[in-house]
Structure 1
Amino acid sequence: MISMEQRVVGRTGQEVSVVGLGTWQLGADWGEVTETDAFAVLDAAVESGVTFFDTADVYGDGRSEQLIGRYLKERADARVFVATKMGRRAEQLPENYVLDNFRAWNDRSRSNLGVDTLDLVQLHCPPTSVYASDAVYDALDTLVAEKRIAAYAVSVETCAEALTAIARPGVASVQIILNPFRLKPLEEVLPAARAAGVGIIARVPLASGLLTGKYTKDTVFAANDHRTYNRHGEAFDQGETFSGIDYETGLAAAAEFAGLVPEGATQAQTALRWIIQQPGVTTVIPGARSVEQARGNGAAAALPPLPQATLDAVRELYDRRLRASVHHRW
Structure 2
Amino acid sequence: MNYRKLGKSGFNVSEISLGTWQVGGGWGEPFNEKKAEEIIHAAIDAGVNFIDTADVYSDGQSEAAVAKVVKSRSEEVFLATKCGRQIQPHTAEGYTPERLISYVEESLQNMKLETLDLVQLHCPPTEVYSRPEIFGAFEKLKEQGKIRNLGVSVELVDEALMAMKYPNVTTVQVIFNMFRLKPTEQLFAAAKENNIGLIARVPLASGLLSGKMSSNTTFNPEDHRAFNRHGEAFDKGETFSGVDYEQGLAAVEELKKLFPAEPSLAAWALRWVLMFPEISTVIPGASRPEQVRSNIQAAELPALSAAQMEGVKAIYDQYLRPAVHQAW
Among 47, 72, 83, the alignment partner of 1:86 is 83
Which stretch of the first structure deviates more once superposed, 293-302 or 263-272? 263-272
Aligned counterparts of 1:230 and 1:111: Cα–Cα separation in 2 = 31
Q: Match of 1:172, SS?
A: strand
Among 3, 8, 25, the alignment partner of 1:6 is 3
1:20 aligns with 2:10: no
Count of residues paired in the alignment: 326
Among 98, 101, 104, the alignment partner of 2:102 is 104
Give, in angstroms, the shift of residue 200 of structure 1. 0.5
Which residue matches 1:125?
A: 123
Which segments of 5 or more consecutive residues in structure 2 lack a partner in the other structure?
none
Q: Deviations over 1:235-269 (max 9, x none)?
A: 00000000000101011111111122246431111
Are 1:110 and 1:117, in contact at CA under 8 Å, matched by a contact in 2?
yes
- Structure 2 counterpart of 1:241, one-letter code: T
Which residue matches 1:321?
A: 319
Which residue matches 2:176?
A: 178
Aligned counterparts of 1:290 and 1:78: Cα–Cα separation in 2 = 21
Give, in angstroms, the shift of residue 85 of structure 1. 0.3
- Structure 2 counterpart of 1:31, one-letter code: G
Which residue matches 2:54?
A: 56
Q: Deviations over 1:147-184 (max 9, x none)?
A: 11111010100011011112221110100000001000
Give, in angstroms, the shift of residue 133 of structure 1. 1.2
Matches within 5 A, 1:97-176: 97-176=95-174
Which stretch of the first structure deviates more once superposed, 238-247 or 6-15? 6-15
Which residue matches 1:194?
A: 192
Aligned counterparts of 1:294 and 1:279: Cα–Cα separation in 2 = 22
Which residue matches 1:276?
A: 274
Aligned counterparts of 2:326 and 2:144: Cα–Cα separation in 1 = 40
Which residue matches 1:309?
A: 307
Q: Deviations over 1:14-69 (max 9, x none)?
A: 11100010101111111225222111111111112111111110111111101112
Which residue matches 1:287?
A: 285
Q: Match of 1:139, SS?
A: helix
1:29 aligns with 2:26: yes
Are 1:230 and 1:236, in contact at CA under 8 Å, matched by a contact in 2?
yes
Aligned counterparts of 1:316 and 1:130: Cα–Cα separation in 2 = 35
Are 1:190 and 1:279, in contact at CA under 8 Å, matched by a contact in 2?
no
Aligned counterparts of 1:8 and 1:31: Cα–Cα separation in 2 = 34
Are 1:173 and 1:199, in contact at CA under 8 Å, matched by a contact in 2?
yes
Which stretch of the first structure deviates more once superposed, 164-173 or 26-35? 26-35
Are 2:87 and 2:94, in contact at CA under 8 Å, matched by a contact in 1?
yes
Which segments of 5 or more consecutive residues in structure 1 lack a partner in the other structure?
none
Which stretch of the first structure deviates more once superposed, 77-86 or 200-209? 77-86
Q: Match of 2:213, SS?
A: coil
Which stretch of the first structure deviates more once superposed, 275-284 or 65-74? 65-74
Q: Match of 1:27, SS?
A: coil
Are 1:205 and 1:285, in contact at CA under 8 Å, matched by a contact in 2?
yes
From the superposition, tell whether residues 28 and 263 of structure 1 become closer, same or farther in structure 2 (CA, over 3 Å): closer
Q: Deviations over 1:57-111 (max 9, x none)?
A: 011111110111221222x213211110000001223233222212210111111
Are 1:26 and 1:63, in contact at CA under 8 Å, matched by a contact in 2?
no
Q: Match of 1:24, SS?
A: coil
Aligned counterparts of 1:40 and 1:261: Cα–Cα separation in 2 = 31
Aligned counterparts of 2:42 and 2:211: Cα–Cα separation in 1 = 22
Which residue matches 2:37?
A: 39
Aligned counterparts of 1:44 and 1:249: Cα–Cα separation in 2 = 34
Stretches (4+) displaced over 4 A: none
Which residue matches 2:68?
A: 70
Q: TM-score, normalised by structure 1?
A: 0.96
Q: Match of 1:329, SS?
A: coil
Are 2:3 and 2:15, in contact at CA under 8 Å, matched by a contact in 1?
yes
Are 2:236 and 2:242, in contact at CA under 8 Å, matched by a contact in 1?
yes
CA RMSD of aligned residues (A): 1.2
Which residue matches 2:225?
A: 227
Aligned counterparts of 1:242 and 1:131: Cα–Cα separation in 2 = 25
Aligned counterparts of 2:92 and 2:141: Cα–Cα separation in 1 = 18
1:250 aligns with 2:245: no
